[in-house]
Amino acid sequence: MGKTSKKDRRHFRTVIKRGSIIVSIIIILFVILIQTPVYPWAKSIVVMSVYSRYESGYSLLKDKNIQIKIPGGLQTKEKDWYPFVMTFNDDRGFSGFMGEPMRMTVLYNFGHFSPLKGYASYYDIDSPYYNSFYGAYGVSKGSEEAFGFIDGEVDHEAISKVPEFDMVRLVLESIGSYDNIFEYEVISEEKAELFNEDDWLVIDAKITVNGSMHTYKKDHRAYIQYGKPPKASSVEERPAEDFAVVDMVGRIYAKHYEEKNITLFFYCITRDEAVIEAWNIDIMNQTKLIMH
């Protein structure tokens, strides 16, 4: 093996030096980045896109050969919702909540995550998207019974358990609120056409539940997707207490598919009825349901 020349050694040292400078610059830029609101926004987008894809791989919908394609905030004109709809499964949790074997997949989206503020409007009490969600649920009993319906008639008590489990157990408890209330009052119900099928049930309801705004005390895993709650100086008006109760409205489309033993729900829960009407136009009109 030949000896390394002085020229080669100088070139090697130069490469090492330049590499060290580049690494140092990258480290400095990263340290600066994590001090800005852009970092929690970027972390949320990256982590939730990967985690959602993982969850969709073993969902109830996949097992039933059902595809649901719901637009996210990237498909709407306004800065209203998070860029994409996410997937989460909790068969065990919902089974425990209902007291019988169940399967449950949640498709969900929440208020716009601002890279300038570093948190989602899900926390912003000045926003019409405060505490708001939309998406879909797929629910199936371990038995052959139709979840949400008894002998073809709607079972409002069972249906109300779906958003209750979602908003209280999956959402509020994930950000540190454990003493929660959930009240659900049906305002109207009627048949509606959806996906060229005229036998969907549409339910409008009043929902009273704890709000998301609270004082940051310690980290919670769900802060990865929503960001940390804003400080008092970041909002015009702040509730007198953490997780203060808020009156909301909800719209749910429901239908049971006997051949697949699954009940599907499409929902929007928010404070502002105008948000529901916009959801109908901008989101539901573009949503695709594909049965294989």
Backbone angles phi, psi at 100, to 5 degrees: -160, 160
If you average pLDDT over every residue of the chain, what do you get?
Answer: 89
Q: Look at residue 218 and tell me whether its pLDDT is greater than 70.
A: yes
Residue 157, domain member (yes or no): yes
Asked whether residue 179 is domain-assigned, the answer is: yes
Q: Does residue 141 surpass a pLDDT of 50?
A: yes
Host domain of residue 225: 36-291
Residue 236 falls within a domain, yes or no? yes
Q: What's the pLDDT at 28?
A: 43
pLDDT 10s digits, 87-110: 999 999 999 999 999 999 999 999
The CA R_g of the chain, rounded to the nearest whole Å, is 23
- The answer to whether position 60 is within a domain reads yes
For residue 180, with 0-12 CB atoms within 10 Å meaning exposed, 13-18 middle and 19 or more buried, which class applies? Answer: middle
Neighbours of 2 (CB within 10 A): 4
Mean pLDDT of 6-14: 59
Task: With respect to residue 273, please indicate whether it lies within any of the assigned structural domains.
Answer: yes
What's the confidence (pLDDT) of residue 231? 80
Share of the chain above pLDDT 90, in %: 77
Strand partners, 203: 189, 252
Is a pLDDT exceeding 60 seen at residue 24?
no
pLDDT category at 232 given cuts 50, 70, 90 is low
More confident residue, 77 or 85: 85
How many helices, marked H, and strands, marked E, lie in the chain? 7, 13
Whether residue 148 contacts residue 263, with contact meaning beta carbons closer than 8 Å, is answered with yes
Over residues 189-213, the pLDDT tens digits come to 999 999 999 999 999 999 999 999 9
Q: How many domains does the chain have?
A: 1
Is residue 137 predicted with pLDDT exceeding 50? yes
How confident is the model over 54-66, as pLDDT tens digits?
Answer: 999 999 999 999 9
Q: Is residue 5 part of a domain?
A: no
30: in domain: no
156-194: pLDDT as tens digits: 999 999 999 999 999 999 999 999 999 999 999 999 999
**Amino acid identity of 190?**
E
Structure confidence at residue 12 as a pLDDT band (50, 70, 90): low
Q: Cα-Cα-Cα-Cα dihedral of 33, 36, 39, 42, to 10°?
A: -110
pLDDT score of 147 more than 50: yes
Residue 37 pLDDT level (bands cut at 50, 70, 90): confident
Given a cut of 50, whether residue 41 has pLDDT beyond it is yes
For residue 254, what pLDDT is reported?
A: 98
The reply to whether 13 falls in a domain is no
More confident call, 46 vs 28: 46
